Structure 1
């Protein structure tokens, strides 16, 4: 069983920036692109565990601040020559305002 959690409003996430939240002991990073798309991923780089919420957001990706690995925000897959994947979570923006993230039940 999955649950949708009301996390924040879109304006709480800076454009080309992030916001962190925690659910069931997992730190989640929410990202907002320059096109106002919102994505949710686990806030932990697959390479060395770096805080992706502190990375640089560009197009539909984030660059890890520790070792510059780039991850696609939609798929969680590493881009370029890097290998690995991070956990992504479905996001809905409701009424053009509220951000809801779907988490698996534990």
Structure 2
């Protein structure tokens, strides 16, 4: 008997999705060459990342750090900003490119 994913693929194929529709989970990945993050079926470009930095920075500035709940939200926003900036750091990009080259050689 076919497993669940095979049955879903067969149903999708019968509905016109090609021979077999992909149902497997694809992990998020970052393309260091283009600076694009691929996740949840979306391609997040450098320009979108820059807008995210601006957005989270604006939200962080609106937080009143004398209130403990708002201070925690400010830290969450700062974490998002710093994570995006780290992803754009040339040294990190070089490391990721080297890692990708090493994976391609295996």
**TM more than 0.5:** no
Name the one with the larger strand percent: 1
More helix by share: 2
Q: Which has the higher contact order (CA 8 A, sep 6+)?
A: 1
**TM category, shorter:** under 0.3
Q: TM-score, normalised by structure 2?
A: 0.24
TM-score under structure 1 normalisation?
A: 0.24
